[in-house]
């Protein structure tokens, strides 16, 4: 009898052990009850999902088969959530702390929401890159419009800041509808309030004459622009930030290396329609088929009257003109490589506008004037009435949002066209544009060049 009881006890214990092992091996945590658990896939010094691939091979798959166009895959629901190590620092704290925090964030490259959606980047993907300054309410409206975009959960959203603030960081933290990566421009005015590339107290005033500047011995006396004016830091920052973010995204962000799909450039005061991703994908297919010379896709336009009923699936082929085709620009790495080859031309052109400078490259450096496929019914709207170039006193972003919401609702039946086709051609072209100035200072030119030619920038000289 005792022998039977011992055998029964052993069977029960063995069954208990097997059941526990089964639970431990197969259990996956359920995060569905939490609005934003975050993944630190670059949480340690080494990039774990790149260098320790064997240990997480069920989570990461970098395809090598000849017929597979997948360039980067992280499957969802495979990483356990890690403790959040994102520090909130406000502007009153030591700028050195903020600078160190920014460098840490840029280095770690933490992509949020991977546990939920995973990430697959291939030639059909659209990566969105938003350049953000400090207009929190405008950014909130853009994010709300992105939430409604079909296919957004498959999109990597990269938000590039030149201001570090708790409010902006908290808003980005609340994005729970797609993978999100924050990056920070390390040469911002915020981080250099009293020295280049910010406003050095010993810099020359904008309108001082060169002779007076030389007598005064202000720092940049020898480097006015072609119109005799000295640099204004707030205008120079935008061009620096634009070039830096492209360099950082393409050349430093690990998941983007080798990426051949589209990058869509947005700004904090834009608003997008729900069909922007499928429309861009159809535009890309059309470009490959019927406009191989088109280097840029323009999802937005500035036309005051938008006829979605007639133009919902129509595009125009045109020569790229910065003032017409700079909103909602999308392109792939081929154009970035051409911009890099023209780095000196870009950085030495005496104009503080990145788009006017790109227009110059199109005329003088990039082979053949750039052509664009432009949506005739815009998928991107410009919301901003206040900002660097706009000083209107009536800044009411919520009222503007209501207008855009109504326009989208009224044209809902015309969105998501089945096909996109070429509806017209424009032969209008610009000669090499006359520079607007604001970029004569050699320090700006050298800092700009450092983003591409020498990645260890030296500033303040």
Q: Is 112 annotated as a binding residue?
A: no
Binding residue per annotation — 412? no
Q: What token pair was written down for 85?
A: 């190590």
Does 96 show up as a binding residue in the annotation?
no
Integer Cα distance of 196 and 447 in angstroms: 10
Beta pairing, strands 111-112 & 126-132: unpaired
What is the end-to-end Cα distance of the chain in Å, rounded?
A: 92
Q: Flag whether 131 is marked binding.
A: yes
Distance, CA of 124 to CA of 110 (rounded, Å):
23
Read off the pLDDT band of 78 (50, 70, 90): low
Least Cα distance to 311 among 404, 411, 381 occurs for 411
Residue 269, annotated as binding a ligand: yes
DSSP 370: P
Burial class (CB in 10 A: 0-12, 13-18, 19+), 379: buried
Q: What is the mean pLDDT of residues 90-115?
A: 89
Per-residue pLDDT averaged across 324-338, rounded?
A: 97
Most confident of 82-96, 234-248, 378-392: 234-248
Please give the residue that has the higher pLDDT: either 251 or 29: 251
In this prediction, residues 274-289 reach a mean pLDDT of 97
The alpha carbon torsion through 20, 23, 24, 26 (nearest 10 deg) reads 150
The 10s digit of each residue's pLDDT in 337-365 is: 999 999 999 999 999 999 999 999 999 99
Confidence of residue 35 (pLDDT cuts 50, 70, 90): very low
| pLDDT at residue 52 greater than cutoff 60 | no
- The percent of residues above 70 in pLDDT, for the chain, comes to 79
The answer to whether 133 is a known ligand-binding residue is yes
pLDDT at 138: 96
In the predicted structure, residue 22 carries a pLDDT above the cut 60: no
Q: What is the pLDDT of residue 74?
A: 84
On the CB side of 360, how many CA atoms lie within 13 Å of its CA? Answer: 20
Average of per-residue pLDDT across 367-389: 85
Closest to 439 in 3D by CA, of 374, 346, 359, 315: 346
Q: Taking 70 as the threshold, does the pLDDT of residue 46 lie above it?
A: no
Prior bond of 197 cis (ω within 30°): yes
- What does the alpha-carbon distance between residue 389 and residue 381 come to, in Å, rounded to a whole number? 17
Question: What is the pLDDT, as a whole number, of residue 396?
Answer: 84
- pLDDT value, residue 203: 96
Q: How far apart are CA 167 and CA 165, in angstroms?
A: 5
Q: Where are the alpha helices (DSSP H) in 188-306?
A: 210-216, 233-251, 276-290
Flag the least confident range among 53-62, 228-237, 239-248, 285-294: 53-62
CB 343 within 8 A of CB 453: yes
Average pLDDT taken over every residue of the chain: 85
Burial of 313 (0-12, 13-18, 19+ CB in 10 A): buried
- Per-residue pLDDT averaged across 120-143, rounded? 97
pLDDT at 392 exceeding the cut of 90: no
Which one is predicted more confidently, 34 or 117? 117
Classified as helix, coil or strand, 388 is coil
Q: Which is more confident, 247 or 40?
A: 247
Residue 110 annotated as part of some ligand binding site:
no
- For the chain, give the number of residues: 461
Choose the weakest-confidence range: 52-61, 231-240, 436-445.
52-61
pLDDT in the model for residue 349: 97
**Is residue 137 predicted with pLDDT exceeding 80?**
yes
Q: Residue 24: which pLDDT band, with cuts at 50, 70 and 90?
A: very low
Average pLDDT score over residue span 378-396: 72
Neighbours of 196 (CB within 10 A): 22
Assigned token pair, 48: 């774990």
Query: Is the model's pLDDT at 113 over the cut of 80?
Result: yes
Q: Is pLDDT above 80 for 457?
A: no
Do 231 and 96 form a contact (C-beta atoms < 8 A)? no
Residue 76 confidence (pLDDT): 85
Whether residue 134 is annotated as binding a ligand: the answer is yes
Residue 239 assigned as binding residue:
yes
């Amino acid at each position: 009898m005792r022998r039977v009881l011992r055998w029964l006890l052993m069977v029960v214990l063995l069954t208990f052990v097997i059941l526990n092992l089964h639970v431990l091996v197969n259990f996956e945590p359920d995060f569905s009850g939490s609005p934003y658990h975050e993944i630190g896939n670059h949480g340690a010094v080494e990039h774990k999902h790149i260098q320790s691939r064997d240990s997480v091979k069920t989570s990461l798959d970098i395809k090598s088969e000849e017929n597979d166009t997948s360039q980067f895959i992280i499957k969802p629901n495979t990483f356990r959530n890690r403790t959040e190590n994102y520090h909130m620092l406000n502007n009153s704290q030591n700028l050195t702390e903020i600078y160190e925090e920014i460098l840490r964030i840029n280095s770690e490259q933490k992509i949020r929401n991977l546990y939920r959606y995973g990430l697959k980047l291939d030639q059909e993907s659209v990566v969105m890159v938003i350049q953000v300054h400090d207009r929190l309410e405008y950014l909130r409206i853009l994010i709300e419009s992105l939430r409604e975009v079909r296919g957004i959960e498959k999109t990597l959203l990269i938000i590039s800041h030149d201001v570090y603030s708790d409010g902006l960081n908290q808003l980005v933290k609340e994005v729970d509808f797609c993978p999100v990566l924050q990056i920070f421009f390390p040469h911002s005015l915020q981080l250099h309030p009293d020295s280049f590339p910010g406003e050095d107290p010993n810099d020359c005033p904008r309108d001082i004459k060169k002779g007076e500047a030389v007598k005064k011995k202000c720092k940049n006396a020898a480097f006015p622009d072609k119109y005799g004016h000295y640099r204004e830091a707030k205008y120079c920052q935008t061009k620096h930030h634009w070039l830096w973010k492209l360099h950082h995204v393409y050349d430093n962000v690990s998941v983007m290396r080798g990426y051949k799909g589209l990058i869509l450039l947005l700004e904090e005061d834009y608003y997008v329609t729900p069909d922007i991703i499928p429309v861009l994908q159809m535009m890309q297919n059309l470009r490959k088929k019927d406009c191989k010379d088109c280097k840029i896709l323009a999802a937005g336009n500035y036309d005051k009257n938008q006829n979605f009923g007639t133009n919902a699936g129509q595009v125009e082929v045109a020569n790229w003109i910065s003032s017409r085709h700079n909103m909602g620009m999308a392109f792939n790495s081929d154009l970035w490589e051409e911009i890099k080859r023209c780095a000196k031309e870009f950085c030495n052109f005496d104009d503080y506008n990145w788009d006017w400078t790109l227009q110059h490259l199109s005329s003088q450096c990039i082979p053949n004037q750039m052509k664009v496929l432009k949506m005739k019914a815009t998928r991107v709207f410009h919301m901003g009435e206040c900002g660097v170039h706009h000083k209107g006193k009536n800044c009411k972003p919520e009222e503007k949002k209501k207008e855009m919401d109504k326009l989208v609702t009224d044209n809902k039946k015309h969105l998501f066209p089945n096909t996109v086709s070429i509806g017209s051609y424009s032969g209008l072209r610009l000669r090499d544009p006359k520079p607007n100035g604001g970029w004569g200072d050699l320090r700006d030119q050298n800092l700009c060049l450092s983003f591409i030619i020498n990645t260890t920038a030296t500033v303040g000289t």
